Amino acid sequence: MASGGGNNRNGTHRNSLKGTTTTSAASTDKPLSVNSNPSKPAFKNKSSPLTGASSGLRKSSPGSLGGGAAKDDAGVPGRVRVAVRLRPRNAEESVADADFADCVELQPELKRLKLRKNNWDTDTYEFDEVLTEFASQKRVYEVAAKPVVEGVLDGYNGTIMAYGQTGTGKTYTLGRLGEEDTANRGIMVRAMEDILAEVSPEIDSVLVSYLQLYMESLQDLLDPTNDNISIVEEPKSGDVSLPGATLVEIRDQQSFLELLRLGEAHRHAANTKLNTESSRSHALLMVHVKRTVKGREPAHSSDNGNSTSMARSLRPPLVRKGKLVVVDLAGSERIDKSGSDGHTREEAKSINLSLSALGKCINALAENSAHVPVRDSKLTRLLRDSFGGTARTSLVITVGPSPRHRGETASTIMFGQRAMKVENMLKLKEEFDYKSLARRLDIQLDKLIMEHERKQKAFEVEIERITAEAQNRISEAERNYADAVEKERLKYQKDYMESIKKLEEKWMMNQQNQGNERKEQMVHIAEEVAEVKKLLSKETSLRKAAEEEVDNLKSQLAQLKMSEALANSEILKLQKMVEDEVCQKEKLEGEISMLQSQLLHLSFEADETRKRLDRGGPGKVPGGLDSPVSQVRSQLKDSGNGEKASVAKLFEQVGLQKILSLLEAEDADVRIHAVKVVANLAAEETNQQKIVEAGGLKSLLMLLGSSEDETIHRVAAGAIANLAMNEKNQELIMSQGGISLLSTTASHAKDPQTLRMVAGAIANLCGNDKLQTKLRGEGGIKALLEIVKCGHPDVLAQVARGIANFAKCESRASTQGSKTGRSLLIEDGALPWIVQNANSDASPIRRHTELALCHLAQHEVNAKDMISEGALWELVRISQDCPREDIRTLAHRTLASSPDFIAGLKRLRIDY
Ligand code: ADP
Ligand code: MG
């Protein structure tokens, strides 16, 4: 590794200091201070720069514990520490260089090294530690190695490396075993002493590998057959491991020394075999320290110190894994590439490859270059963590004093200077040891299972014992109980026997006393017994007979019951049949009455139709020739008197009562049919009496009041009119409020036929002499005068007839002298209507009014009114023009006999 470090080789003390100071300022934790404590060498105790950094690490470590080594925390900055060690002149140098001064001058208190350029000029370099030729091995260990070893024990990786020209004391510094003099023990031995002093052999482990790297081949110094060990890098963590290397667990210093000796012997043998020197190869000692952290809660524990022992036992132990790598590098001197030392040019290149690669990496790191060619050699791959990685690295550069090797010395110094600029990020390798926790728990579990089994067994034995004991106790108690019972039983038996005996004795005594009396009684009793026996046998025979009788009766009863049951079922059957019959009958009756009413209706319709046919033409017949009415009519025509005969037959078959009852039927159609039938019957004089007697008149009057159906009103009024032809019936109609019912019906009527019927009925009533006053009093005349408003000639004819009837009765009463006052017709204002219609075109109207006027004129008291209302003219006309002779004569006679009329005629100048 050529220095080529012209850039860093400063000509002045000042310049070189400046450069170094810059480096110091860049490092935050760099404890090195040129002036801080000159009297106290910085490396002497734990406050030394490297140790100081170590304390700093310890403080910061809890913060980086969380995820253990795997966690990608930032780590703590830690620059590569570089110490320079000067070998004393050896015998040869003492002789050969006797006249020359050393090429280096050390200022350990200032941590400076002066390299003589020539007799008058030097370059000054500052290092972390400057170790003179007098520095003891112990001191070298303490300042250059101990902080790193302590770091490894705390869970950091560490590297201690010696660099320098062959023969300058690298192996002396690192590898001396100190067998001849323990004071000469080198760093490896001392490091292991410190490690073994710190670890606990039960829970911690120290594993060692020892290797040699020569011409890019990695050989196992603990197993010489293994001469091509591969390097495995874990891509995630960047950790380097050598799975093929022998790992020896170290438990004591002695075994370690033996291991080193063995390794050294193998190294020597290998080098002989390869025809090389150990100075051409790199020796690497790797110490893996795994320590369990005692008495410290993990930083992320959340139970605030209240953890139970259970929780504690379930917590995996925290382990720290530190790896110490001690590297005794090959000599840094330039290899003669001419092949003069027995190597070919290619071999020379290969021998130096790793070292020159290391130099390049350090240069790149020192200059913060983006690319660090770590992968260029096996050495740089192996030391990846030591430079620019996470390890704490301490480099000892060894120089000789001889001016003859000034060039190599300068190159070594420049290597050290550049290495000082390399900044590492120290990281704690701490993790939870789940495996050991699992092991521990397994052991604990085994113990518990065993303990449980033991207890279980003891428990079962105890149960068995208790069961046996209980069984014993139970059987003993049972025995005791049986004994006691037996005893008790015997005692009672004995008592019982004794009392029986006593009673028997007593009884015997009593028997003897009573013996004599008894004999007499016995005879008497024997007689009585014989008597009783006789009675008994008699009773028995009687009883037997009675029992036979009872049996007999019982069997009869059973028979009767049977026949009764039969009869009952028969009765039930018959009842059912009767009910069915009744049902059937009711149904049939209903149907019959329906049919009857329909038939009656048809008959009525037929009758009506027939009448109309008789009266007018066929045009008045409603419906076509095919209608049922027309059919009936045709049948009636065919059969002549058959229709009347059929109504009469019906009357016979159904009975008047039944027909009248239908007037109150719920079905409106039935009511209508019934009233038509009744009306039809009432038209026959022979039936009228029967209808009235059966209450038909009353029902018809009621229908006028209760029904709102105009057809019913019309037909009922017609029927009433027919019935009102009979004098007796007229009184009945009047006494049952007929006038008011008829006038109400008239006031609601819309059909002139209804009014005709009502007017006809009233007209009939008007003809009764006895009812004049009552009829007038109940509004009969007024009702007639209301009816005339309809104007229908048929109606007016009926009204006229009524008025004529009334006037005739009045005139009869006046003649007889039972009536004296003015006519009630005039009183009720009927005169104007009479006068008005006296000359009507309709002959029935004219005839009745003419008659009425004549009757009114019979009585002198009416004359004045008649004259004033213009009746005189009508009377004159009647006396001359009336086609009926009797009326004509009556009018004439009246005019001629009445003084008022004669005066009136005179006054009106009517020539009569
Ligand atoms: P290197 O390993 O660098 O090639 P060595 O350690 O083999 O050098 O040292 C070469 C010689 O110098 C050895 O004989 C060694 O005993 C001696 N030597 C080296 N350093 C010292 C020292 N500090 N004090 C006394 N002798 C030393
Ligand atoms: Mg050596």
Q: What is the pLDDT of residues 623-638, one digit of tens each?
A: 333 333 333 333 333 4
Shared domain for 198 and 226, answered yes or no, is yes
Ligand 1 environment, Cβ below 6 A: 87-88, 90, 164, 166-172, 279, 331, 398
The tens digit of pLDDT for each residue in 166-197 reads 999 999 999 999 999 999 999 999 999 999 99
Q: What share of the chain is helix, strand, coil (3-state, %, to 5)?
A: 60, 10, 25
Checking if the pLDDT of 742 tops 90, the result is yes
Q: Looking at this protein, which amino acid is placed at residue 365?
A: L
Whose Cα sits closest to atom 5 in ligand 1? 169
Checking if the pLDDT of 339 tops 80, the result is no
Question: Helices 187-198 & 146-153, crossing angle to 10 degrees?
Answer: 30
Residue 897 C-alpha to ligand 1 middle, in angstroms?
Answer: 203
- What secondary structure, in 3-state letters, does 625-645 show? CCCHHHHHHHHHHHHCCHHHH
Shared domain for 448 and 333, answered yes or no, is no
Range in 9-18, 269-278, 821-830, 854-863 the model is least confident about: 9-18
Residue 178 C-alpha to ligand 1 middle, in angstroms?
Answer: 13
Residue 169 C-alpha to ligand 1 middle, in angstroms?
Answer: 4
Q: Which ligand is nearest to the CA of 283?
A: 2
Q: For the CA atoms of the chain, what is the radius of gyration? A: 81
The tens digit of pLDDT for each residue in 665-675 reads 888 888 888 88
Which is more confident, 749 or 190?
Answer: 190
Residue at 536 is within a domain = no
Whose Cα sits closest to atom 1 in ligand 1? 167
Q: How confident is the model at residue 51 (pLDDT cuts 50, 70, 90)?
A: very low
Residue 278 C-alpha to ligand 1 middle, in angstroms?
Answer: 13
Q: Which ligand is nearest to the CA of 180?
A: 1
Q: Which ligand is nearest to the CA of 281?
A: 2
Ligand 1: atom nearest CA of 85 is: 23
Range in 8-12, 135-139, 276-280, 750-754 the model is least confident about: 8-12
Average pLDDT over residues 280-306: 74
Report whether 791 belongs to an annotated binding site.
no
Shared domain for 96 and 147, answered yes or no, is yes
Range in 78-82, 804-808, 811-815 the model is least confident about: 811-815
Average pLDDT over residues 712-716: 92
Shared domain for 427 and 448, answered yes or no, is no
Number of domains in the chain: 2
- What secondary structure, in 3-state letters, does 406-460 show? HHHHHHHHHHHHHHCCCEEEECECEEECHHHHHHHHHHHHHHHHHHHHHHHHHHH
| Pairing mode of beta strands 121-126, 232-233 | unpaired
Residue 108 C-alpha to ligand 1 middle, in angstroms?
Answer: 20
Checking if the pLDDT of 620 tops 50, the result is no
Checking if the pLDDT of 1 tops 60, the result is no
Residue 174 C-alpha to ligand 1 middle, in angstroms?
Answer: 10
Checking if the pLDDT of 268 tops 70, the result is yes
| Residue 609 confidence (pLDDT) | 64
Q: Which ligand is nearest to the CA of 186?
A: 1
Checking if the pLDDT of 853 tops 80, the result is yes
Report whether 167 belongs to an annotated binding site.
yes
Encoded tokens for 135: 């520095």
Residue at 232 is within a domain = yes
Query: Which of the listed ranges 246-260, 528-542, 839-853 does the model predict with the highest average pLDDT?
Result: 246-260
Which is more confident, 599 or 670?
Answer: 670
Shared domain for 384 and 237, answered yes or no, is yes
Residue 622 C-alpha to ligand 2 middle, in angstroms?
Answer: 155
Q: Looking at this protein, which amino acid is placed at residue 277?
A: E
Shared domain for 168 and 255, answered yes or no, is yes
Shared domain for 277 and 324, answered yes or no, is yes
Average pLDDT over residues 760-779: 92
Residue at 259 is within a domain = yes
Checking if the pLDDT of 712 tops 50, the result is yes
Identify the domain boundary among 379, 411, 432.
432
Cα–Cα distance measured from residue 610 to residue 601, given in angstroms and rounded to the nearest whole number: 14
Question: Given its phi and psi angles, is residue 10 left (phi above 0), alpha (psi -120 to 50 degrees) or beta?
Answer: beta
Report whether 138 belongs to an annotated binding site.
no
Identify the domain boundary among 499, 521, 553.
499
Ligand 1: atom nearest CA of 165 is: 3
Residue at 466 is within a domain = yes
Checking if the pLDDT of 239 tops 50, the result is yes
Residue 39 C-alpha to ligand 1 middle, in angstroms?
Answer: 29
Shared domain for 371 and 476, answered yes or no, is no
Checking if the pLDDT of 67 tops 70, the result is no
Tokens 């470590």 belong to residue: 61
Ligand 1: atom nearest CA of 135 is: 23
Residue at 287 is within a domain = yes
Average pLDDT over residues 510-527: 81
| Residue 612 confidence (pLDDT) | 63
Q: How confident is the model at residue 463 (pLDDT cuts 50, 70, 90)?
A: very high
Shared domain for 386 and 445, answered yes or no, is no
Shared domain for 380 and 441, answered yes or no, is no
Q: Which ligand is nearest to the CA of 162?
A: 1
Ligand 1: atom nearest CA of 173 is: 6
Residue 174 C-alpha to ligand 2 middle, in angstroms?
Answer: 9
Ligand 1: atom nearest CA of 162 is: 3
Residue 42 C-alpha to ligand 1 middle, in angstroms?
Answer: 25
Residue 47 C-alpha to ligand 1 middle, in angstroms?
Answer: 30
* CB-CB contact of 218 with 211 (8 Å): yes
Q: Which ligand is nearest to the CA of 140?
A: 1
For ligand 1, mutation pick of 92, 133, 165, 172 (most atoms within 8 Å of CB): 172
Mean pLDDT across the chain, nearest whole number? Answer: 82
Whose Cα sits closest to atom 22 in ligand 1? 87
Domain that includes residue 354, residue range = 81-294+316-432
Ligand 1: atom nearest CA of 398 is: 3
Residue percentage of the chain with pLDDT more than 90: 48
Residue at 28 is within a domain = no
| Residue 276 confidence (pLDDT) | 73
Which is more confident, 28 or 368?
Answer: 368
| Residue 910 confidence (pLDDT) | 77
Q: Which ligand is nearest to the CA of 136?
A: 1
Q: How confident is the model at residue 33 (pLDDT cuts 50, 70, 90)?
A: very low
Residue at 787 is within a domain = no
Ligand 1: atom nearest CA of 166 is: 4
Q: Name beta bridge partners: 287.
A: 208, 324
| Residue 70 confidence (pLDDT) | 35
For ligand 1, mutation pick of 84, 87, 93, 326 (most atoms within 8 Å of CB): 87
Whose Cα sits closest to atom 14 in ligand 1? 167
Range in 102-111, 437-446, 717-726 the model is least confident about: 437-446
Query: Which of the listed ranges 7-21, 277-291, 297-311, 428-442 does the model predict with the highest average pLDDT?
Result: 277-291
* CB-CB contact of 395 with 418 (8 Å): no
Residue at 332 is within a domain = yes
Residue 376 C-alpha to ligand 1 middle, in angstroms?
Answer: 30
| Angle, vertex CA 594, rays to CA 588 and CA 597, nearest 5 | 135
State the sign of the Cα–Cα–Cα–Cα dihedral 836, 841, 844, 850: positive
The tens digit of pLDDT for each residue in 389-413 reads 999 999 999 999 999 999 999 999 9
Shared domain for 326 and 265, answered yes or no, is yes
Checking if the pLDDT of 21 tops 70, the result is no
What CATH number did the domain enclosing 426 receive?
3.40.850.10
DSSP, collapsed to helix, strand or coil, labels residue 316 as coil
Report whether 164 belongs to an annotated binding site.
yes
Checking if the pLDDT of 61 tops 90, the result is no
Ligand 1: atom nearest CA of 172 is: 6
Cα–Cα distance measured from residue 319 to residue 73, given in angstroms and rounded to the nearest whole number: 17
* CB-CB contact of 701 with 735 (8 Å): no
H-helix or E-strand spanning residue 106: strand 104-107
Cα–Cα distance measured from residue 64 to residue 626, given in angstroms and rounded to the nearest whole number: 123
Whose Cα sits closest to atom 19 in ligand 1? 169
Identify the domain boundary among 432, 466, 485.
432
Checking if the pLDDT of 152 tops 60, the result is yes
Report whether 168 belongs to an annotated binding site.
yes
The tens digit of pLDDT for each residue in 637-655 reads 343 444 455 556 666 666 7
Cα–Cα distance measured from residue 861 to residue 777, given in angstroms and rounded to the nearest whole number: 20
Which distant-in-sequence residues (6+ apart) come within 8 Å of 476 by Cβ? none
Range in 105-109, 360-364, 618-622, 853-857 the model is least confident about: 618-622
DSSP, collapsed to helix, strand or coil, labels residue 842 as coil
| Residue 322 confidence (pLDDT) | 95
Q: How confident is the model at residue 254 (pLDDT cuts 50, 70, 90)?
A: very high
Cα–Cα distance measured from residue 434 to residue 824, given in angstroms and rounded to the nearest whole number: 141
Shared domain for 245 and 360, answered yes or no, is yes
Report whether 169 belongs to an annotated binding site.
yes
On the 0-12 / 13-18 / 19+ scale of CB atoms within 10 A, 150 is: buried
* CB-CB contact of 869 with 902 (8 Å): no
| Residue 655 confidence (pLDDT) | 78
Average pLDDT over residues 588-597: 72
